[in-house]
């Protein structure tokens, strides 16, 4: 992946940040989109190490902002990773229209905006790779994740459609379906909803994976790197679980 151009959305924290660091460490030219101004410091830290990581502040839910951000990237794009997303806890009854629209705008429309803008650059010189972040929630019912599951199901089916439509252009499209991953979102969720019981609830959530723990962002980034690289060149239209046995080992 040396000197290849990698675009990662939601790259300033969590899984996205782990991906940025992984690809940058492998001498790729990384461009990461995020609304979080922490991206500036991340870019500086990696540049100080001699790595190539450029932060582009962008609201991917805006078609004009996403297009402007993608067009600002010089030359061809070899890999697009649609990682940016937000979560929501709630069933159909207690999901507001505002929450539903917000999740759709970021998780679905944002993926659409970035992919559509990147397609011309991905098509150059024989194609490239698109990797979408889905979730185990895309293919199995999880309590109180109505709106989130809706958006991840859309990510999965968008993956299939893009893979089918652009295979002749040399573009591969796959998605990853993680189980629970220990990110800052998890810590914030526990602190907000279970004050004083964070450790107990963290262990309870970890135990829902048969393997007995949550994934680390670095583990997701390693798989993303493999699928996006030439080593994964025979993979397209595939949903790859990385879930500690959540889907395959029902308990």
Q: What amino acid positions are annotated as catalytic residues?
A: 148
Return d(Cα 22, Cα 205) in angstroms, integer: 27
Please name the residue that has the structure tokens 């709106």: 147
Q: Which helix (H) or strand (E) holds 93?
A: none
Instruction: Give the separation between CA 205 and CA 18, rounded to whole angstroms.
Output: 22
Q: What is the 8-class DSSP label of residue 216? A: P
What DSSP designation does 196 have? T
């Amino acid at each position: 992946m040396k000197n290849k151009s990698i675009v990662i959305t939601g790259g300033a924290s969590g899984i996205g940040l782990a991906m940025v660091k992984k690809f940058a460490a492998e001498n790729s030219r990384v461009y990461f989109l995020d609304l979080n101004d922490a991206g500036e410091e991340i870019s500086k830290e990696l540049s100080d190490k001699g790595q190539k990581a450029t932060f582009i502040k962008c609201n991917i839910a805006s078609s004009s902002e996403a297009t402007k951000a993608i067009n600002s990237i010089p030359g061809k794009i070899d890999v697009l990773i649609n990682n940016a997303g937000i979560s929501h806890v709630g069933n159909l009854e207690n999901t507001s229209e505002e929450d539903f629209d917000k999740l759709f705008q970021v998780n679905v429309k944002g993926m659409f905006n970035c992919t559509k803008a990147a397609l011309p650059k991905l098509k150059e010189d024989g194609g490239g790779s698109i990797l979408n972040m889905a979730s185990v929630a895309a293919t199995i019912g999880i309590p109180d994740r109505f709106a989130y599951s809706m958006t991840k199901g859309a990510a999965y089916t968008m993956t299939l459609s893009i893979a089918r439509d652009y295979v002749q252009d040399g573009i591969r499209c796959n998605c990853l379906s993680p189980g629970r991953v220990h990110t800052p979102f998890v810590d914030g969720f526990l602190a907000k909803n279970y004050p004083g019981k964070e450790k107990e609830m963290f262990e309870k959530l970890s135990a829902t994976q048969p393997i007995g723990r949550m994934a680390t962002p670095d583990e997701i980034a390693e798989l993303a790197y493999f699928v996006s690289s030439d080593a994964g060149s025979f993979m397209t239209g595939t949903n790859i679980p990385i879930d500690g046995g959540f889907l395959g080992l029902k308990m």
